[in-house]
Structure 1
Amino acid sequence: MTQEVRAAGAVLWRHAGRAVEVALVHRPRYDDWSLPKGKLDPGETTAEAAVREIREETGFRAVLGRYVARSSYDVPAKHGSGTVPKTVDYFSAEAVSGGFEENDEVDELRWLAPTAAEKLLTRHEDVRVLRVFCQLPVGLTTLLLVRHAKAGKRDGWSGDDDLRPLSEAGLRQAAGLRRVLALSAPDRVLSAPRLRCVQTVKGIAEDIGSEVRHEPLFSEEGYWPDPVLGVARLLAIAGDGGTPVVASQGGVIPDLVSVLADRDGVELSAARGGVVPSKKGSFWVLSFRPPTAEDGPILVAADYHPSALPTPAPSHH
């Protein structure tokens, strides 16, 4: 069986006054100009690989935003003749600190306006990815909507179901979420007041020196008596800006996401047969335009990640 080569990268951007610049790197090995990218290390997710490759190739620390696009093409096989498929998953990433120094892979970095970057890029696929990135503005609010990780089976738990804790598998999922969601620099953590929901995101709160704030409207029994209130609460959280993490349940998340997507005209390509996915330990990256004097926050992208452990790439809008 042919082994697919997996890689990840990003459109790395920064503000330049009122304008936006993106970073292109020159790789002397190929004598090309490209977006920062590289192969996944064993045990890495695409998000982790993207941030690591940005740091190694450009010297910048980056904060991940939305998923942008997947690029697929064939590359020469390492062993024997012929080719093997390669996929590169690209994210939007804001440069927040650091600076470029020539390294083993990259001898020059240029910050350019997107139109100038298009002309310098060597490969048409990179131009396509950049154009997808440019379809939405930068500076969006990222809300990370998490379904709690796996808990012990309900029929094997004799206590209050609200107090059913994570299983060993669930603790592994929570550890993965703690690593991957940190790449988006969350600044507050909210959760349905179920132990398994709180446990799933407690490590994230600890890492930012915060507490998990209980949000009863995101539990199944709190949401369904009046879903309009639950949607309004999520929009209020998004409207406060920053990068919130919200933990909820499988009986709530699909409705929340589909209502917002229908309201704001976002296609959910992750949905199959009208079903919005929400596996245990999965998360949605919801990207909102910040509120204006006329409107509240508007959903512009919704990217589903089925796991925070090494898995196939996310489906995206």
Structure 2
Amino acid sequence: MPATAGEAAPEHLAVRAAGALCWRTVNGSLEVLIIHRPRYQDWSWPKGKLDDGETLPEAAVREVEEEVGLTVKLGLPLPSIHYRVNSGLKEVQYWAAQVNGADAVPDGDEVDRAEWVAPDKARGMLSNPSDIGPLDALEYWHDHGDLPTWPIILLRHAKAKPRSTWTLAEGDRTLVASGHRQAKAVGRLLSAWRPKRVLTSPWVRCVQTVKPYAKMADPKVKQIDALTEAAHKRQPKKARAVAEGVFDKRKPVIICSHRPVLPTLLTVFAERMSDVEAAKLPVSDPYLTPGEVLILHVSAQDNQRIVAVEQIKPYDD
């Protein structure tokens, strides 16, 4: 199995960037989109530096759209690469991004050509040898039938008012001001995958956390009592059943819940992962910080098997 996203760089990073290997299959054969940049006279993958306040997944999606006119949803995380630029060490994080039907349209400024080619041809065209690493991983997943995936996104609600100062019903406890800012950042991050289903605890702090994403993407939002702290304490099996049920639906989904519920949900996911991937799951309290997400990539070939996991914190002030 190839290395995945998030490998540590050997020294301080001067530049962080993100991009995607856009891919498709033609008569069962894998093709990837490679771009030519006239400024550097090189062949590479769509990528670019992060804007202020932007996460890596957001940057990857934005750069693909800006450079080749494709609006993509991110798939499997691919190995990051490191190389030197004038300011120091640069890291580029890549994701796979399946493209169905749409044509790539180079922006004409940063990118003047975009070509769909077989992986072997791409290896001969790439100007930076380190760009071959993400391609090797992409081809590995394709050869094993697990390149097409769909995401389960586990989200802990954003920062809420302290229990110690809250005198009303626990389910009515709201987000603090920084929690609302977190929720907006979470909404932008989730747009990199754009699930059309949201399962959330009906308690106010969870509903407020998913609200910005719901306004942006208009998903179907379902409030589920089993995802509340109180219901989970009484009957944890019902929360477990919620997590098990998303595999049967076979559709991208967000699950928003509370810290005490997370261990039960994580147990369900760990049972459907290899030991290597399960070892990447958080195992100690608080599991996820407020507003943090886990992206669990489920194989479209085997909808009961998670093949990769990412953990991302979109915003914290």
Determine the C-alpha separation between the residues in 2 that align with 1:183 and 1:166.
24
- Percent identity for Structure 1 against Structure 2: 34
1:90 counterpart letter in structure 2: Y
Deviation at 1:17, TM superposition (A): 4.1
1:209 is the counterpart of 2:218: yes
User: For structure 1, which segment, 120-129 or 88-97, has the greater mean C-alpha deviation from structure 2 after superposition?
Assistant: 88-97
Residue 70 of structure 2 is aligned to residue 41 of structure 1: no
Q: CA RMSD in A?
A: 2.7
- In the other structure, the counterpart of 1:81 is none
| Structure-2 change in CA distance of 1:91 and 1:172 (3 Å) | same
**Deviations for 1:39-82, whole angstroms, at most 9, x for unmatched residues?**
112222211211121112212111122322221222113xxxxx
Superimposed CA distance per residue, residues 107-141 of structure 1 (whole angstroms, 9 cap, x where no aligned partner): 21111233332332222211111122333323211
- In structure 2, relative to structure 1, the CA distance for the partners of 1:45 and 1:303 (3 Å cut) is same
Query: Could you list the runs of 5+ residues in structure 1 that have no partner in the other structure?
Result: 78-83, 312-317
* Residues 188 and 205 in structure 1, CA contact (< 8 A), matched pair in contact too: no
Is 1:301 matched with 2:305? no
5+ residue gaps, structure 2: 1-11
User: Where does residue 124 of structure 1 map in the other structure?
Assistant: 129
Does structure 1 retain, via aligned residues, the 8 Å contact 2:104–2:114? no
Which residue of structure 2 aligns with residue 315 of structure 1? none
Give the equivalent residue in structure 2 for 1:111.
116
Q: How does 1:23-38 map to 2 (within 5 A)?
A: 23-38=33-48
**Secondary structure at the counterpart of residue 22 of structure 2:** strand
Cα separation, 2, equivalents of 1:244 and 1:215: 14
Q: 1:98 to 1:154 in 2, by over 3 A?
A: farther
Contact 2:80–2:93 (CA<8 Å) still a contact in 1? yes
Q: Does 1:172 align with 2:181?
A: yes
Q: What residue identity is the alignment partner of 2:84?
A: D
Report the equivalent of 2:67.
57
Q: Which amino acid aligns with 1:104?
A: D
Aligned partners of 1:310, 1:286: CA distance in 2, in Å? 22
Q: Deviations over 1:9-38 (max 9, x none)?
A: 111123434333211111222222111111
Q: Is the 8 A contact 2:196 2:220 kept in 1?
A: no
In structure 2, the partner of 1:22 is 32
Secondary structure of 1:204's counterpart equals: helix
1:66 lines up with 2:97 in the alignment = no
Instruction: Return the alpha-carbon distance in structure 1 between the equivalents of residues 283 and 151 of structure 2.
Output: 27
8 Å contact 2:153–2:253 — kept in the other structure? Answer: yes
* Deviation of the 1:154 alpha carbon: 0.6
**What is the distance in 1 between the residues matched to 2:244 and 2:282?**
25
Contact 1:192 1:217 in 2 (8 A): yes
Give 1:225 shift.
Answer: 5.1
Structure 1 residue 252 displacement after superposition: 2.3
1:242-261 aligned at under 5 Å gives the runs 242-261=251-270
Specify whether residues 290 and 99 from structure 1 end up closer, same or farther in structure 2 by C-alpha distance, changes over 3 A only: closer
8 Å CA contact retained: 2:244, 2:268 = no
Normalising by structure 1, report the TM-score.
Answer: 0.85
Deviating runs (4+, > 4 A) in structure 1?
A: 224-229, 268-276
Give the letter aligned to residue 221 of structure 1: A
C-alpha distance in 2 between matches for 1:284 and 1:262: 16
Alignment of 1:160-199 (within 5 A): 160-199=169-208
After TM superposition, the structure 1 = structure 2 runs for residues 207-246 of structure 1, keeping only pairs within 5 Å, are 207-223=216-232, 227=236, 229-246=238-255
Residue identity opposite 1:189 in structure 2: V
Greater mean alpha carbon deviation, residues 91-100 or residues 106-115 = 91-100
Take 1:227 and 1:69, find their aligned partners in 2: how far apart are those partners?
36
Compared CA separation, residues 74 and 228, structure 1 to 2 (3 A): farther
Please report how far the alpha carbon of residue 288 of structure 1 lies from its aligned counterpart in structure 2 after TM superposition. 0.7
Q: Tell me how far apart the structure 2 counterparts of residues 67 and 114 of structure 1 sit (CA, whole Å).
A: 18
1:270 Cα shift? Answer: 4.6
How far the C-alpha of 1:101 sits from its partner, in A, is 3.2
CA contact (8 A) 1:44 1:310 kept: no
Q: Distance in 2 between matches of 1:239 and 1:20?
A: 28
Could you give the per-residue CA deviations for residues 149-208 of structure 1, whole angstroms, max 9, x where no partner exists?
000011111001111011101100100111110121211111022211111112222333
Aligned residue identity for 2:29: A
